[in-house]
Amino acid sequence: MVESVYMAKKRVLSGIRATGRLHLGNYLGAVKGMLVLQDNPDYETFYMVADLHTLTTPYSPRELKNNTREVVMDYLSAGLDPEKSTIFIQSYVPEHVELAYLFSTAVSIARMQHLPTYKEKVKQYPQNVNVGLLNYPILMAADILAYKAPLVPTGIDQEPHLEITREIARKMNEKYGLSFPEPTRFVTEGEYVPSLTGEGKMAKTVEGSSIYLTDSLEAIKEKLAKTPTDSGRGEKVPEKGGVATLLELVELFEGGAEREKYEKMYLGEGIRYSELKEKLAQAIYKEIEPIQKRRAVLEKDPSYVERVLEDGAKRARAVARGTLDEVKKSMGLI
């Protein structure tokens, strides 16, 4: 074929749930990867806000629309560019849901119930174990496979869902003669950003855990001030807790050499945390300040954001529609 002279662009799909403004964990773990792939001309990138996934855990219907817009604003201010990427909202592309239903017939209930991510949610919200939660990874597989995307820039916590996506792709290919890729995760340097509380990863749902892209320098300082520390010296550099969190953030925002310097101090004369925290706050703010400046400009023109989303949904639907038709044909529906 003539087209084969030109290498077809590889597609990329990613999304973040619509739970409000983004924090450093979202930024380093997902958005930075999205930016790298957006700026690589070998890729065609689709980035969405997963508002439908948000419905599976307790949320406020009154706030959802605004929270979805907040993520879009963070995307755009972090540098996602509608000239280069298709930026859209999941629920504006109903083909995802239709595809998810078709995929749901290709996986067993037992397989879904055994997923660690599902079990965690059941533990976290025992009063809210709904079928949407069980279907969560199937909808995510539909998000990705609607674009036949082989590459997904997302956090390490999404790995079990990508495994399900690969299983669904294989099954659909075997059973119906389709040719879905088996998607892999695009890994970024800051794929695991620890919580300021010193326990687990940075998470919106945990009080005092996160620094948001919209936080002022003052707010960052106040938050870091609350991260628990110790006397600043000892025989072994802590691998867990607040001190480990601080050192990890130092590495992510000030570099590995700076972290090593602090580690030596810990084993020697001791770290002065007030100084460490001051420098760290400055370094974090330096990285997010340009994002805040772009956000301020965007906030002046809400209609621009709506135009981006309308255009994004149109472009996304054209691709998703094609995949859906193909799947429906192969399954004997049309």
Residues that bind ligand TRP (CB under 6 A): 13-17, 50, 53, 140, 143-144, 152, 154, 158
Our CB check for ligand TRP shows the closer of 152 and 281 to be 152
Our CB check for ligand TRP shows the closer of 81 and 157 to be 157
Separation between Cα atoms, residue 285 and residue 142, nearest integer Å: 37
- Beta carbons of 228 and 242 less than 8 angstroms apart: yes
Our CB check for ligand TRP shows the closer of 14 and 77 to be 14
Our CB check for ligand TRP shows the closer of 120 and 189 to be 120
- Beta carbons of 50 and 310 less than 8 angstroms apart: no
Least Cβ distance, residue 66 to ligand TRP (angstroms): 19
Our CB check for ligand TRP shows the closer of 55 and 281 to be 55
Please name the residues in contact with 57: beta carbons below 8 A apart, sequence gap of 6 or more: 121, 124, 125, 128, 133
Least Cβ distance, residue 29 to ligand TRP (angstroms): 9
- Beta carbons of 141 and 103 less than 8 angstroms apart: yes
Our CB check for ligand TRP shows the closer of 11 and 17 to be 17
> Cα separations (Å) of 201 from 76, 115, 132, 241, 314?
25, 19, 24, 11, 35
Least Cβ distance, residue 300 to ligand TRP (angstroms): 29
Least Cβ distance, residue 26 to ligand TRP (angstroms): 8
Least Cβ distance, residue 143 to ligand TRP (angstroms): 4
* Kind plus residue range of the DSSP H or E element containing 11: strand 10-17
| 81 three-class SS | coil
Separation between Cα atoms, residue 278 and residue 37, nearest integer Å: 33
Least Cβ distance, residue 237 to ligand TRP (angstroms): 31
Please name the residues in contact with 118: beta carbons below 8 A apart, sequence gap of 6 or more: 112, 133, 134, 136, 137
Our CB check for ligand TRP shows the closer of 167 and 263 to be 167
Least Cβ distance, residue 189 to ligand TRP (angstroms): 18
Closest CA to 233 of 276, 196, 292, 184: 276
